[in-house]
Structure 1
Amino acid sequence: MLKISSIRSILENTLFVWIGLTLIITLAGNALVLPDWLQVVGRSHPILLHFPIVLLLMGLLFFWIPGIDNKPEIREIGEISFLAGCNFAGITVIAGLILAQEEYTGEILTWHKWGGIAVFAGCILLYFFRSSKANYIRISSIVLAFAIIATGHWGAGLTHGEDFLLAPIISNEVEVIPLAEAEIFNDVVQPILQAKCVSCHKEGKIKGELRLDHIEGLQKGGKSGPFVLAGDFEKSLLIQRINLPEDDKKHMPPKNKAQLTEEELLILSEWVASGASFEQKLVSLPAENELYQLASVKFEGNKIYSFDAADPDDIAELNTSFRSIQPLFPESPALDVSYFGISAFQPESLTDLKSVKDQVVRLSLNKMPLAGIDLKFLKDFKHLEELQLNFTDLEPEQIKTISELGTLEVLAISGNEIDQASLENISKMKSLKKLYVWSTGMNDQDQESLQKALPETVIDFGFDGKGIIYELNSPIISQAEMIYQDSLEIKLSHPIKTAEIRYTLDGTDPDSLTSPVYSQPIFVTSTGKIVAKAYANNWKGSKVKESVYIHSGIKPSEFSLLYEPNSKYKASGATTLFDLVKAEAANHGQKWLGFQDQPMVLEVDFENLKKAKEMSLSLLYNEGAHIFPPSKVTVQGLENGKWVQLASNSPEVSPKALSARSELLTLELENTNYEKLKITLTPLPHLPKWHPNAGSKGWVFVDEVIFNE
């Protein structure tokens, strides 16, 4: 049997082996090529690390035993335990350095790596200088103990996440987000990625060179390709991997991790199908959209109602051109009723709602002329929770009736005059959670009195103009259609009646001095883009709002495409370009023709028709989905058997990724002596350097080609 002295000698000598290996691997870094079998050693790091932690901490305790110098047997046990811990620390450090060469990186890894090396070095120094003064040794042991704990904490952060240690005492309250404010990515998609994917794709652990803990990493993608491409399941790495069999080594999440639920799979798939936007709000999707239906139930307002649903035939009959009745959210019996169109409002139509009075939960009559109308019918709506009556000319008696509705939780009566009697009645509405009363004529004393009477209610008194300047909302542009034949009426409006709206029709941004001021509807008879901006005293000017309008012009007698569009984005072929149906910017898969490997080359003939002097192209831009302006547009005319260039343009490329949007490119033709026209749109051959997929080919998307005299 080996003597203690022999064990000590072996352990002391092996320490120098671990020191040498540690220096080699540390100094060589990524230049050192390790055999595959050593990866097994590296992956044993999480198993080995428990030994040095226990042995070292136990050995450190022996330095604190009073009079240990007079107890050689106990001292020897402590020293051997500490020496064994030093050896295990060396082995653990070597295994960790090997493991770090796989797919770990980041600031946490750096702290953990050098912390481990510092602990190993500290162990060696403390062991070989253990005969120093007791006070020095004890201070050093405390420092080493803290180093061991800190290094272990960083290691836990790599494996379990940065907040793993403190998670039990950190508040886990989840902010309730209103459905109207919920964003598809931030509030629906990202929580799924955080729960099921980020642990393997974050700072410190970036498998496949893919980071999912910030948007830049998502947009960049990994070494196997882009994480998502809008509307493209084949090239979206996310869709590929989550749909692989669970036993496939490329399936994500790995089979030893928590798997995606069916609902989560559907949400991620529908997100990509809907455009994979990182900014789009959930409510911008149509109510029948599957992603909306799956996700909307997660947000505030989607409370469960036990009452019976209304007759679908009654709901269908009540939906008119001036009134909308929809479920509060898909499959809910609760109804949301909204009136719109002041000129079409008929007070007697309010009595029609009696057939759904037990299901109405929200009622919006904003801007409807309610003066003189008896509102007592609202008392029959026994589940009414939210009432929107902004700018409706309410009278004191009507406000008194409203104050008697005991089920109300949200009341909006901004823009109505509130006298003292009305103020007293509103002060009795203890059930209110939110109250909107801006622009109601209340002074500071009235506001203070109301807030004191309703201490549990969140009251919005609106902008008081005291030293804070807010930005105006953008104007609203209303037009019956985007593509028209004769003339088109365009109306501009703004919720703040005193706001001044300025506009341009040449596509430039309006200014507050020289641009025309909107005062009455605008009638256009050409193709172009209206850009509008709102201004008001004590407010910042709004962001611009723009809208394209397209005059249908001359439809060619014959047309054909030299190259077919990509099979994924072919819509109805060349016919799509002249069907006068404007495609939606948010939906890439329908009604757009997409070209990438070949240019779009369109030949048109105007036999027996007037010759066009102007041509407009309706294009889609969405840099995040690789959809860019064409690198060049050329228009050629066939004259005496030869193609002659009549117009050309190279549209400017955005310096950053913007949201999906329609753009209109118009070119003037030099003459009308042609027999036929040939229009060529060349896709961008290389995406710009700032793009995550710089160097890849760009796409050109087009949905309409318009010719005018």
Structure 2
Amino acid sequence: MDVLSINLARLHPLIVHLPIGFLLLGILMEGLQRWQKHNNYQPAIGLSLLLGTLASIVAAATGWWLAEEGGYEENLLQYHRWLGIATTISALLLYLGHLEYTRLLTKLYPYLLWVCGVVLFAAGHFGGAMTHGTDYLFEKPAAPQTVENIEEALVYDLIIQPIMDQKCTGCHKPSKSKGGLVLTDQAGLMAGGDSGPLFNTAVPAQSLLLERVHLPMEVEEHMPPEGKPQLSAGEIQLLEWWMGNGACFDCKVKDMEDRAAVAALLEAYQTPADHWAKLDLPPMPLETVQQLKAQGLRVAVAAEESPFLLVDMARDTAISARSFAPLRKYADRVIELHCGHSNFSDELSGQLADFTNLKKLQLQGTRITDAGLGFLAELPHLQVLNLYGTAVTDQGLKAIGQLPELKQIYLWQTAVSDAGLTKWKEAHPQVVVQQEADREVFGTAALNPPLLEAASTLFHDSIVVRAISNFKGVEVRYSIDGTPPGPDSPLFPDSLILRKTAEVQAFAVKPGWNDSEVSSARFVKAGLRAKTGRLLNPPSGKFQANGGASLVDLQKGTAVFTAGSWLGYEGEHMGAVMELPELTPVNEVTISALSRPASWIFFPKSAIVSVSADGQQFREVSRADWPTIDKEVVETELKYFPIAFDPVEARYVKVEVRSPLRNPDWHPNPGGKSWIFLDEILLSGPEEVFDHGGISASTDYKTTK
């Protein structure tokens, strides 16, 4: 009988909801019956009141047995117990009144509806007070407490008791002290419960509190019980740390040993004091990040659920004002910008004025000078600035010194003098200055590839190419014959003048350092200068560029295809006619295109070239087919597609570029309309033809010193 009573008693929390539901339903239907007299709810009312009465009897019995286990505040228990009995009695009388069992009960029936409802609510309220506390109706969830100086915080008040309040006091409080244990204050913790003291100061790991927490979930003594919110691994670690320090109730964080073990957990109790935490921005939508990536930008969210963006333009040699345009809408969210070893220069520095929340800026290996540092005044929260390998001098230190929150700056391999830097450091002792190569920042002792710089990658007559290295005493070896350069390759001159299409490859060499990787750049000559370009069909959507003029202006588009320099066609082919100034021998057409499958952009699959002397009658002279992508590719790629043919006299050259029209089967959206993006159509005569797969050794070039 003892085992049976315990099992039935434990069913009380489940059973107690049945009379509430049945009786309230019956009372509600009785009210509707009196309002809508034409409806007959009487059978349903009788059934509800009968089930409610029977459930009340079972709930009262199991509740009475459960109270014998103890652990409840006595006054609340007595109120709840006797109101439960009153509910059972009133439910029985209400049901009998509904049946018109006696004349008196029939007369009292309307009043019994009110009495039963009031008593039912009262019994439920005191039951909730026993389980959840007397203020459970109006109690608000406690907001996590934080302090500005975690070292001065009381560990018990800030960390331990809030953990108890969130995970333990639901069953261990004055109104419901399961096992005779109260965990709402220091006195209760020190007193322990029916099973004895909670703490073993001699061997903290053997303390009863930790033993119960570490028990397997299926063991009945595991705390918190199964079905209740469990302690997280971090909360258990904080409890172990506190108890390992003697379960001190008056100790501050700075007084505790082994703080390093919980340093990361303690950060959650530190009030964010920096500028970015106070901005209170919502998390950056992942859809927005994907849209920016689809536009060719290398961006990432700073952390999960973070509102901030990290932008990477490192080693991009085609940065322009247009590169920053897609980011302007989110300028206040960009906290890190990496432009290292790119073509970033003084002319582009003004583009950063909108990014006022920048925290870290990397400009190492760029062409920034003192003149371009004026933009720093617009970045009041910048903390880390990397200028190593730039031409910044003592003059530039003045602008840098105006940054109020600067914490670290890299000035290795700059033109800043030792005397000037010493004076600046004395005026700004809070700033850590990096003057030598930091291997964690700059990696192993390997040289960076030289930057191949020219006014453009497209040209008509000739172009000057320079190799720029940010290390002193570096030799640059290069080749233009299609083979990788080696130790015996010629030294890169001050200026390399190309007069024909060539792919320049170069690497840096310095004693005591590892050779750099090979950098390369293709410079394409459009030997024939087209007079105009005319589109035969308009581009799609916003990808209009400058119309037909975009095909002959030698302005190469970048990987950021939304920057306005590309002609885009969705689900259709493209046609254009280039007009030469006069009848001219032509024997090659080169199409410049972009591929970015993630944005549904693919290279063309074929093209047809026709020529005319009068612009009216065209005859086909060549066509070319190119293989389609048969596997998943996500990278952005820019590529030239040459079409060679026998020399022919022409003034008008018509090019019909064929699109794949549909996304391939492997694409996330197979069968959807695909795009082609074009930015240049180059014309060449017999003297200008080049080998696109590898540059001939006889390619004409000139060097000057």
Give TM-score, length-normalised by structure 1.
0.45
Q: Larger Rg: 1 or 2?
A: 2
